[in-house]
């Protein structure tokens, strides 16, 4: 199968070509399910080589997803995939196989499950730890309505480091008598799992005595799947676990535990689900899978193949970049700073690769902390460190920092602790779509008293801002920076401490003043050139500081100009431009302010240039707005 054919058509002689919904999966024989699994893997490997996507996680759940659709009846039965980045196989089996080449492309399939995309997507997601709570809500609703359908929550072992998952576990026994939880255990989230729970799962699956007993139990279930096997299986499983692990996690929460079993044995999965669907109690099935199964490059580098752009099928290689990304500059810079400052530490929430803190981890492991998928804990942990004179840099994607909002307000800002919040992917996140766009952090931070928030126009200024944060100990600071590369203005020489609240005034103008924040400063520069060719006097400001604003520079510009235009990679509601309007209003200045930014809606997925053109984040749109005043 060639890359091109896999992207635009399915193998006409294959099974997947004839799968238009779960009912077609059920027509297959059990041996054919294994054939289907291999075909699904081939389609994923070749198709995603063109579009990019979450290859590794999906290769790991092929047999599981096939077995679910073979045994249960979607959409009457509900499948919830935690995060849902591993939902591509589910999409292939629910009538979307012919569209797989459009995944993560503008107006194509979303890279996560989406309720508006298919009736089989019963719950949308994009962040970890949501599946169990939502599934429990669906099960409770079914019970209230006297229904009989099944609810199955599929969560990776990494999701069990997440607070909401543990909170849901605490409520299952008292809420419903019928729920199936699948623990997909592959020892990875985006990076290698960390913490006590991850160690517990690993010990459970590798203990030789328990492994032997588990296999005997699985064989019985597979062979009999009847009432006699049920009773004996319960006794055998319970006895083995109580002998080896007196405090087994799940049964303490009131869930009957089964496993671990081989998550790539589709026949065993089918027989086990047939058995579990008859149980009138909450159950958890622990399956062992390989992230990236069936594709050696993904097995060799599971972190890289968790989610990536286009790659070569032959060896999994990807195109390199000529200049480092903001994330890479961040990781390198604070590692260098920490080598000079023994009190500087780095914290992330399960994303050393994404935030590029793996540089810090490799060179200064004793001062690197990974909390797992637990942003709330990470923020509180950073607060505790800060009370003791340690300088914590907490690196989390902007979209995930939302989860720690209460801690930022109540624990960090209220106590005026010098925690440094570093929000990667501040702005549009392109192909990942609305669950991952970092378009809200200005709005959820700028109203918090005492916090300092900033964004650099280029890489050199970014390093200076990080250095300023490292040397500021009078309260909390935050920095947002975009995904990918900047304009290529690398830092030369030693970093400098910037004056907080002082903007960079590039030029003054009597007709219009352009204020370009961060990565949209380049757009403001282009607009300046266009306006000057038309004979207008144009001022240009690099604001640097979202909070505190440089009120002197802004009010002076407004008094001298006919119109102000702001540019931001953020929603306009409660964004940077809104803060300019507020500042001028409070100063009784009535200069009109035009704003370039994202609309009051959840922005879809697609290439940034396509989405910017659609939603008016262009130099042309800015010119049109400005010229209406001149």
* % of the chain at pLDDT higher than 70: 89
CA 418/CA 475 separation, integer angstroms: 4
DSSP state of 498: P
Q: Which of 91, 291, 491, 547 is catalytic?
A: 291
193 touches 161 (CB < 8 A): yes
Strands 180-185 and 151-156 turn out to be parallel
Q: Pick the residue with more confidence: 407 or 191? A: 407
CA 158/CA 146 separation, integer angstroms: 33
Q: Which of 293, 403, 528, 544 is catalytic?
A: 403
**Partners of 479 in beta bridges:** 422, 454
Looking at the predicted structure, is the pLDDT value of residue 247 above 70? Answer: no
Looking at the predicted structure, is the pLDDT value of residue 211 above 60? Answer: no
* % of the chain at pLDDT higher than 90: 80
User: Would the pTM count as exceeding 0.85?
Assistant: yes
Q: Which of 39, 187, 222, 375 is catalytic?
A: 375
Residue 418: the pLDDT is 98
Q: Which residues contact 362 (CB under 8 A, 6 or more apart)?
A: none
Residue 158: the pLDDT is 82
Give the pLDDT band of residue 234 (cuts 50, 70, 90).
low
Question: What count of residues does the chain have?
Answer: 630
DSSP state of 568: E
Question: Is 99 known to be catalytic?
Answer: no
Looking at the predicted structure, is the pLDDT value of residue 14 above 70? Answer: yes
Residue 160: the pLDDT is 84
Give the pLDDT band of residue 206 (cuts 50, 70, 90).
very low
Question: Is 403 known to be catalytic?
Answer: yes
CA 42/CA 294 separation, integer angstroms: 9
Residue 492: the pLDDT is 94
Question: Is 461 known to be catalytic?
Answer: no
Give the pLDDT band of residue 215 (cuts 50, 70, 90).
low
Quick one: how many helices (H) and strands (E) in the chain? 26, 17
The predicted model gives 415-432 an average pLDDT of 96
Q: Pick the residue with more confidence: 105 or 210? A: 105
The predicted model gives 368-384 an average pLDDT of 96
User: Of the given ranges (23-27, 73-77, 199-203, 517-521), which has the lowest mean pLDDT?
Assistant: 199-203
| pLDDT tens-digit series, residues 88-116 | 999 999 999 999 999 999 999 999 999 99
What is the per-residue DSSP string for 331-376?
A: HHHHHHHHHH-TTEEEEESS-TTTTTTHHHHHH-GGGEEE--S-HH
Closest by CA position to 130, among listed 100, 99, 103, 154:
154
The predicted model gives 213-238 an average pLDDT of 47
154 touches 184 (CB < 8 A): yes
The predicted model gives 318-323 an average pLDDT of 82
Residue 244: the pLDDT is 40
Give the pLDDT band of residue 195 (cuts 50, 70, 90).
low
Residue 65: the pLDDT is 97
CA 562/CA 475 separation, integer angstroms: 37
CA 469/CA 352 separation, integer angstroms: 20
What is the per-residue DSSP string for 503-563?
A: -EEEE--SSEEEEE-GGGHHHHHHHHHHHHHTT--EEEEE--EEES--HHHHHHHHHH-SE
Residue 293: strand, helix, or coil: coil
Residue 196: the pLDDT is 55
Half-sphere exposure of residue 575, counting CA atoms within 13 Å on the CB side? 23
Burial (Cβ within 10 Å: 0-12, 13-18, ≥19) of residue 260: buried
Residue 181: left (phi > 0), alpha (psi -120 to 50), or beta? beta
Phi and psi at 484, nearest 5°, equal 85, -150
Looking at the predicted structure, is the pLDDT value of residue 236 above 50? Answer: no
Residue 12: strand, helix, or coil: coil
The predicted model gives 427-455 an average pLDDT of 96
Looking at the predicted structure, is the pLDDT value of residue 6 above 60? Answer: no
Q: Which residues contact 619 (CB under 8 A, 6 or more apart)?
A: 523, 526, 527, 530
Q: Pick the residue with more confidence: 161 or 412? A: 412
User: Of the given ranges (197-211, 283-297, 333-347, 523-537), which has the lowest mean pLDDT?
Assistant: 197-211
The predicted model gives 488-499 an average pLDDT of 96
Looking at the predicted structure, is the pLDDT value of residue 18 above 60? Answer: yes
What is the per-residue DSSP string for 415-432?
A: TT---EEEEET-B--GGG
Closest by CA position to 516, among listed 421, 626, 602:
626
Domains along the chain? 3-306 (3.40.50.970), 326-480 (3.40.50.970), 504-627 (3.40.50.920)
Q: Which long-range contacts (CB under 8 A, 24 or more apart) does 197-205 make?
A: 197/157, 197/160, 197/161, 197/249, 197/372, 198/157, 198/158, 198/161, 198/372, 200/249, 201/157, 201/160, 201/286, 204/245, 204/260, 204/286, 205/260, 205/286, 205/288
CA 451/CA 408 separation, integer angstroms: 9
**Partners of 477 in beta bridges:** 420, 452
SS3 of 24-83 = HHCCCCHHHHHHHHHHHHHHHHHHHHHHCECHHHHHHCHHHHHHHHHHCCCCCCEEEECC
The predicted model gives 563-567 an average pLDDT of 98
| pLDDT tens-digit series, residues 331-362 | 999 999 999 999 999 999 999 999 999 999 99
Residue 536: the pLDDT is 98
Looking at the predicted structure, is the pLDDT value of residue 242 above 50? Answer: no
Mean pLDDT score across all residues of the chain? 90
């Amino acid at each position: 199968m060639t890359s091109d054919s896999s992207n635009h058509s399915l193998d006409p002689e294959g099974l997947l070509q004839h799968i238009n919904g779960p009912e077609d999966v059920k027509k297959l024989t059990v041996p054919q399910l294994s054939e289907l699994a291999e075909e699904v893997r081939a389609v994923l490997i070749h198709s995603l080589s063109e579009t990019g996507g979450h290859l590794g996680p999906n290769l790991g759940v092929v047999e599981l997803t096939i077995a679910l659709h073979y045994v249960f009846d979607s959409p009457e039965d509900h499948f919830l995939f935690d995060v849902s980045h591993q939902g591509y196989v589910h999409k292939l089996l629910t009538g979307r196989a012919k569209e797989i080449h459009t995944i993560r492309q503008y107006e194509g399939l979303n890279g996560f499950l989406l309720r508006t995309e298919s009736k089989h997507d019963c719950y949308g997601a994009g962040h970890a730890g949501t599946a169990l709570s939502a599934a429990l809500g669906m099960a409770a609703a079914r019970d209230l309505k006297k229904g009989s359908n099944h609810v199955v929550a599929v969560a990776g072992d990494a999701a069990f480091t997440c607070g909401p998952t543990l909170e849901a576990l605490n409520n299952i026994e008292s809420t419903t008598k019928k729920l199936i939880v699948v623990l997909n255990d592959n020892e990875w989230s985006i990076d290698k799992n960390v913490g006590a729970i991850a160690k517990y799962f690993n010990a459970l699956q590798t203990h030789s005595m328990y492994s032997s007993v588990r296999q005997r139990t699985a064989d019985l279930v597979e062979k009999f799947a009847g009432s006699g096997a049920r009773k004996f299986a319960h006794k055998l499983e319970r006895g083995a676990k109580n002998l080896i692990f007196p405090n087994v996690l799940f049964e303490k929460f009131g869930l009957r535990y089964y496993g671990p079993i081989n998550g790539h044995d589709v026949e065993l999965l089918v027989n086990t689900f047939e058995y579990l669907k008859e149980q009138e109690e909450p159950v958890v099935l622990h399956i062992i899978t390989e992230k990236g199964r069936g594709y050696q490059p993904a097995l060799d580098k599971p972190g890289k193949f968790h989610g990536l752009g286009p790659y070569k099928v032959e060896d999994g290689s990807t195109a390199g970049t000529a200049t480092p990304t903001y994330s890479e500059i961040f990781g390198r810079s604070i590692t260098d700073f920490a080598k000079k400052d023994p009190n500087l530490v780095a914290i992330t929430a399960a994303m050393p690769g994404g935030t590029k803190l793996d540089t810090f981890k490799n060179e200064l492991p004793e001062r690197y902390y990974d909390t797992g998928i637990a942003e709330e804990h990470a923020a509180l942990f950073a607060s505790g460190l800060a009370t003791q004179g340690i300088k914590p840099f907490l690196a989390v994607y902007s979209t995930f920092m939302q989860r720690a909002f209460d801690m930022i307000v109540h624990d960090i800002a209220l106590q005026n602790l010098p925690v440094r919040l570093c929000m990667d992917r501040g702005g549009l996140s392109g192909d990942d779509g609305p669950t991952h766009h970092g378009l809200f952090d200005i709005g959820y931070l700028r109203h918090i008293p005492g916090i300092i928030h900033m964004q650099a126009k280029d890489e050199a200024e970014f390093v200076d801002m990080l250095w300023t944060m490292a040397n500021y100990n009078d309260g909390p600071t935050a920095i947002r920076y975009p995904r990918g590369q900047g304009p290529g203005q690398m830092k030369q020489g030693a970093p400098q401490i910037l004056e907080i609240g002082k903007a960079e005034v590039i030029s003054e103008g009597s007709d219009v003043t352009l204020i370009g924040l961060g990565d949209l400063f380049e757009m403001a520069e282009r607009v300046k050139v266009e306006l000057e060719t038309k004979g207008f006097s144009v001022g240009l400001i690099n604001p640097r500081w979202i909070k505190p604003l440089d009120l002197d520079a802004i009010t002076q510009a407004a008094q001298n100009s006919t119109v102000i235009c702001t540019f931001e990679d953020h929603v306009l509601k409660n964004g940077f431009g809104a803060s300019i309007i507020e500042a001028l209003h409070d100063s009784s200045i009535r200069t009109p302010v035009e704003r370039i930014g994202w609309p009051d809606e959840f922005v879809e997925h697609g290439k940034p240039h396509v989405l910017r053109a659609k939603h008016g984040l262009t130099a042309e749109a800015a010119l049109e707005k400005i010229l209406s005043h001149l």
